[in-house]
Amino acid sequence: MKTILTANDMTRRDALRWTALGAGGLMVGGLPARAAVRPATAKSVIQIWMWGGPAHLDTFDPKPDAGNDYTGPLNKPIETNVPGIRIGELLPILAKRADKYSILRTMTHGNNGHETASYMVQTGHKPGDGTVYPGVGAVVSLFKGYAGGYKGLLPPYIVMTKLQGRFAEAGFLGSRAKPFATGGDPAQSRFVVEGVVAEGISDQRQQARRGLMHNLNTLGQTMADDPAVVDAVKAEQAAYDLILGDAGKVFDLSQEKESLREAYGKTRFGQSCLMARRLVERGVPYITINYEGWDTHKGHFNDMRRKLPELDKGMGTLLKDLADRGLLESTIVWWGGEFGRTPKVQWEPPWNGGRNHFGKVFSHVVAGGGFKGGRVVGETNATGEEVKTRPIYVTDLITSMYDLLGIDSNAKLPHPQGLDVAVMRPDTGVAGSNKLTEIM
């Protein structure tokens, strides 16, 4: 597979150039034909990517009657505010918000490799056919970004805080759809965003540097009316508006009430969720939160007692905050990872109570943007090891989201070799052709 940009590859200069090209309308190529098939109900997507694969039995598909070899110590699921729906005991805030989301309990693809499974879930395609397909974020960026009418200075596809790598990004779409990774840590007192917020340099010092640059640019002053100079000035203005203007202030979380920041949780994940809400308010079409730490082969339950409350605060507060601001109805929140984890606990050494990779069946969660809340789609068997009813394939989920975004899954994507490649054809992707009409 082709290697796509990594977190450390996008420098400050790259970010400024990206902004100048995007905001200046110089992006190569327009939208593919047949760009929309229905009025969109969703304007933005917040993807909470559970990097490593979360355990469905400990989160959204508990099996308390399966016995200790399956539940471990987490054997007391809790009722939600929707009668008949129970979730993991360490998710009390999300239990109070169950009316706002739907649980997809029968996601399946059968792949147990991190990279290959991630590629399948992010793109809807199986690897190995010689084509590196773009992820959902890249496709949304293409259709809903600058070529689709987006006017913001902020990049249309933002990842917090670092990229996954070659299997979940722009694919053959290339630079036009690459995500911008913020880097940094939003839980720190100053969120140092790559290319926007420089560590140790104040806004006043940035302004002084800009003034010095202008004083030294005698050629630009002499040829001020030259078209090339005019374009360069516009690009520079756009870049500095992002760094020092109102657009850049979106990354300043000190503008939020301290009580709200505490509700989200003063963690990298919690503050990333708050950051995502602020980006949605600015109209950014696609935001991914890459949430690491879910590849729990060893000491799984100790990790869950630390990670699940963190997830609960961040995601639970995000759903409420979006709803309170009238943003949830136009924002899809998509939670899930590349697969689940083995329902049967591995008690033996060296795992000592771990869970392995499990692509046979796992859970995802969707909310907002036209998805109904308070529903469960699909049922697994008594131990959570098999799909019992309504298998949900990756293409079922992805095409449903495209539908709500007003993106035609049959539209042709611009391919560098001119190949006939559609946004998402179920017969050429990961098996499945049944949109989630139960919750749309």
Q: For position 130, what pLDDT does the model report?
A: 84
Q: For position 166, what pLDDT does the model report?
A: 63
Separation CA 337–CA 60 (nearest Å) = 13
**Cβ atoms 193, 15 nearer than 8 A:** no
Separation CA 11–CA 17 (nearest Å) = 10
- 373 is written with which tokens? 């809340």
Give the number of C-alpha atoms closer than 13 A to the C-alpha of residue 365, restricted to the C-beta side. Answer: 26
Q: Strands (DSSP E) along 165-222, which ranges?
A: 180-181
**What residues contact 10, with CB distance under 8 A and at least 6 apart?**
18, 180, 181, 194, 195
What single letter denotes the amino acid at residue 412? Answer: K
Q: For position 3, what pLDDT does the model report?
A: 33
What single letter denotes the amino acid at residue 407? Answer: I
As assigned by CATH, the class of the 12-439 domain is alpha beta
Average pLDDT for consecutive 10-residue bins of the chain (440 residues)? 37 48 43 62 98 98 97 98 98 98 98 95 90 94 92 92 77 88 89 68 54 52 58 47 66 95 98 98 97 96 97 98 98 98 96 96 98 98 98 96 96 92 80 89
Select from 20, 12, 15, 19 the least CA-distant residue to 199: 12
Q: For position 233, what pLDDT does the model report?
A: 46
pTM for this entry: 0.85
- 101 is written with which tokens? 């989301």
**Cβ atoms 300, 56 nearer than 8 A:** no
Give residue 368's region: left, alpha or beta (phi > 0; psi -120 to 50).
Answer: left
Q: For position 228, what pLDDT does the model report?
A: 55
Angle at 71 between CA 69 and CA 75, to 5 degrees: 135
For strand 157-160 and strand 86-87, is the pairing parallel, antiparallel, or unpaired?
Answer: unpaired
**Cβ atoms 52, 296 nearer than 8 A:** yes
Give the number of C-alpha atoms closer than 13 A to the C-alpha of residue 197, restricted to the C-beta side. Answer: 21
For strand 362-367 and strand 331-336, is the pairing parallel, antiparallel, or unpaired?
Answer: antiparallel
Separation CA 440–CA 104 (nearest Å) = 13
In residues, how long is the chain? 440
Alpha helices in 56-134 (DSSP H): 68-71, 92-95, 114-123
